[in-house]
Structure 1
Amino acid sequence: ADAMLPEPAEDLGLMAPAGQLWSTAADLCRFAVFLAEGDEKVLSAASVQELRTPSVPPEAGQWDGGYGLGTQLARRGGRTLVGHTGSLPGFLAGLWVCVEDGVAAVALANVTSGPLVGAVAADLVSIVADAEPRIPEPWRPLPEVDQELLALTGPWYWGANTFGLKLAADRGLELHPLRGNGRGSRFVVQPDGSWKGLDGYYVGETLRVMRRPDGSVSHLDLGSFVFTREPYDPEGDVPGGVDKEGWRGLPS
């Protein structure tokens, strides 16, 4: 029946951190922005990235949910969502963020059971992302450019496969194939001068610039993958070496 039952407000005691947090839709949307972008006054973008990273590897096949560090992860319509649902007697809440689309949704309901507000919030994300595609951020030059890092940018080869290395903000690097499909990732600089993969195939892997005795760059070492400036560069440290006669046609 369409009837109501008042729910008493309970002090949850030791369980208060798991449910006794009261907020508004507007403030939850602000929290969603934090989950997407971070805030150096609270947590760095790198730390927030850990919140959005699965704490255990996804199961084989099509995964539809999991957990990061304190956040829920879900897959809906090909999108990865991060957030959480919540409930107390008399209240249901759902918050989901799609970082790639730059869209977040919050749903609140004064009920104990019934509407799946988490599903409602997920549907809202899809509706907005599909109907209002994200406007690309305007291009802006870097505030300053490290010439030594700038010299690393441009084409690199893994075997005969061409990749482009791009300089990003905060001394970060991006490596992506220049043609066709392939393995790419973004990298964040480490205290020792190396870079750590943030996403994609090389997530968690270390990128190092290998130099010759005279200080010139020999090659890039990415988790044992060797990238050289020329395909099978005889001057590079290619595993197994390079045939001394180089590239040639089929002998008669």
Structure 2
Amino acid sequence: MTSWNEELLPATRRALLHRTATAQRDGRTPSMVAGVLRDGRIGWSGGRSGVDGHEPDSDTQYRIGSITKTFTAVLVLRLRDEGLLDLDEQVEKHLPGSGVGGVSIRQLLGHGAGLTAETPSPWWERTPGETRPDLAAVLGEQPFRHPAGLRHHYSNPGYTVLGSLVEAVRGDSWEAVLQREILEPLGMRRTSVEPRAPHAGGWAVHPWADVMLPEPSHDLGLMAPAGQLWSTVGDLLTFAGFLAEGDDRVLSAASVQEMRAPSVPLESGDWEGTYGLGLQVVRRGGRTLFGHSGSLPGFLACLWVCAEDDVAAVVLTNATSGPPITEVAQDLVRIVAEAEPRIPEPWRPLPEVDQDLLALTGPWYWGTQRYVVKLLDDRGLELAPLAGTGRGATFRAEQDGGWTGLSGYHAGERLRIVRNDDGSVAHLDLGSFVFTREPYDPVAAIPGGVDPEGWRGLAR
């Protein structure tokens, strides 16, 4: 049997190369490089090029466009975790006179601030950064398109504001903070604001003929936090592993997981995708994937992670348009997950057990609805319906002896034990919902009371 830590099977590697090669050919792109991370290590990488003998590899730099936004979001979350700001604070608190009024930091992170998608003319991706020397030039005279907090409206200027926020709070340039707080700790030595050899050149491919022309590459200036970076498959797979597991040198596991949670209401019919805090989240083929895509003239990039399968994929190419690389990267994740499914960890008993908590397990009733309580590791609890639908949840143990809900309807709600005078358990209280050992236990304090005549059959 092949263990999860061994190299990908030859058939899997061939399938990955075939998908990449087909995308490069059918997408008519000068070159394409891709890679897959499995179990925290690179399981495969490969490239294709229209020039014989010059195939890119996992160390070749490409421009990654809006994947840069995820790096900026991590820097903002670091500031929050250090207590230097609150995500629900108004941006004006840290950037007085920025021109974004009462917009919150959280709304900017999730593209829910209602700001314009782009800067005023000329097109920022094709003009030097000095064209927009300050935030006023980036935002323009009418920076809002929607009321804040009501809908997702992708905004490049919004992430420019976040970059300026990082600079204001840290007292240093966005580039220097990025280098010091993300790239160096993670060992991402091939990610930079300017290209470093070996790197690909950007190209535009004619839509109706197999001919090309070079695309210009500009320093984006203030817009850098929205799309400046160059990187490699190797570095981005390292970053993908960080986004999956966290790294206390950069951002905790809890904070990177928070980045995946939907941040704004979904539009009608848009249930297959949402946006968190600097991360896109999609459902494809029964899998949840998170990551980001990116584009700038001459380049397309994408990074997707499937935490359930512990697989991530990165695809980079040097064409303005053509190959559907988001679909390609998602296919690479699927190929690995289906060809070599993750081997689950063996079942093991708990290392120790609290007998009082063990006594809480088993059936409980909310009115007449049947539930079961299970004991988890670290004194956690799971409440689940025994049959049909119901409001189940997992709960984290707290220092005060209670629990806090982690999921679903009861997320954030408090579960506590209510005891009788003799210390025995009377019932469980979950946000005022009473769970008893018998349905409508007459001796428990059930809101509304119980008919004193008790249970009965149908009178004849």
Q: TM-score, normalised by structure 2?
A: 0.49
> Which whole-Å CA distance do the structure 2 matches of 1:40 and 1:217 have between them?
39
Q: Does 1:73 pair with 2:276?
A: no
SS at match of 2:332: helix
2: distance between equivalents of 1:250 and 1:197? 40
Stretches of structure 2 that go unaligned for 5 or more consecutive residues are 1-208
Q: What's 2:360 paired with?
A: 152
Match of 1:188 in 2: 396
What's the counterpart of residue 49 of structure 1?
257
Aligned counterparts of 1:78 and 1:61: Cα–Cα separation in 2: 17
Q: 1:183 to 1:50 in 2, by over 3 A?
A: same
Amino acid at match of 1:242: V
User: 1:165 Cα deviation (Å)?
Assistant: 1.7
Rounded to whole Å, the distance in 2 between the matches of 1:41 and 1:173 is 30
Given the two structures, how large is their TM-score scaled by the length of structure 1?
0.84
> Shift of residue 61 of structure 1?
5.1
Q: For residues 265 and 400 of structure 2, what CA distance do their matches in structure 1 show?
A: 28
Q: 1:116 aligns with which of 311, 324, 333?
A: 324
In the TM superposition, 1:220-235 aligns within 5 A as 220-235=428-443
More helix by share: 2
Per-residue displacement from partner, 1:156-179 (whole Å, max 9, x unpaired)? Answer: 222232222222233322221223
Question: What is the CA deviation profile of residues 205-246 of structure 1, one whole-angstrom value per residue up to 9, with x for unaligned ones?
Answer: 332323334433222222332211222222322222223333
1:169 counterpart residue number: 377
Deviations 1:180-218 (A, max 9, x none): 343322222345443332223333333232333443322
* Structure 2 counterpart of 1:95, one-letter code: L
- Aligned position for 1:102: 310
2:346 counterpart of 1:138: yes
C-alpha distance 132-5 of structure 1, shift in aligned 2 (>3 A): same
- 1:63, distance to aligned residue in structure 2 (A): 1.0
The aligned residue for residue 17 of structure 1 is 225
Relative CO higher for 1 or 2, CA cutoff 8 Å, sep ≥ 6? 2
Aligned to 1:93: 301
Which amino acid in the other structure matches residue 424 of structure 2? S
Paired letter, 2:423: G
How large is the RMSD of aligned CA atoms in angstroms? 2.7
More strand per residue: 1 or 2?
1
AA partner of residue 218 (structure 1): A
> Is the alpha carbon distance of 1:141 and 1:27 closer, same or farther for their aligned partners in structure 2, counting shifts above 3 Å?
farther
- Quote the Cα distance in structure 2 between the aligned partners of 1:116 and 1:84: 14
Which blocks of at least 5 consecutive residues in structure 1 are unaligned? none
Report the secondary structure of 1:246's partner residue.
Answer: coil
Is 101-110 or 34-43 further displaced after alignment?
Answer: 34-43
The residue identity in structure 1 corresponding to 2:436 is: T
Asked if 1:31 corresponds to 2:247, the answer is no
Output the CA distance in 2 between the equivalents of 1:168 and 1:43. Answer: 26
Give how far 1:118 is off: 1.6
Structure of larger gyration radius: 2
Regions of 4+ moved over 6 Å: none
The one-letter amino acid of 2:241's match is V
Query: Residues 162, 45 of structure 1: CA spacing in aligned structure 2 closer, same or farther, 3 A cutoff?
Result: farther
| Residues 23, 209 of structure 1: alpha-carbon distance in 2 compared, 3 angstrom cutoff | farther
Task: Name the amino acid aligned to 2:346.
Answer: P
- Partner-residue secondary structure (3-state), 2:241: helix
Gap change, CA 1:37 and 1:186, over 3 Å in 2 = farther
CA distance in structure 1 between the aligned counterparts of 2:442 and 2:386, rounded to whole angstroms: 22
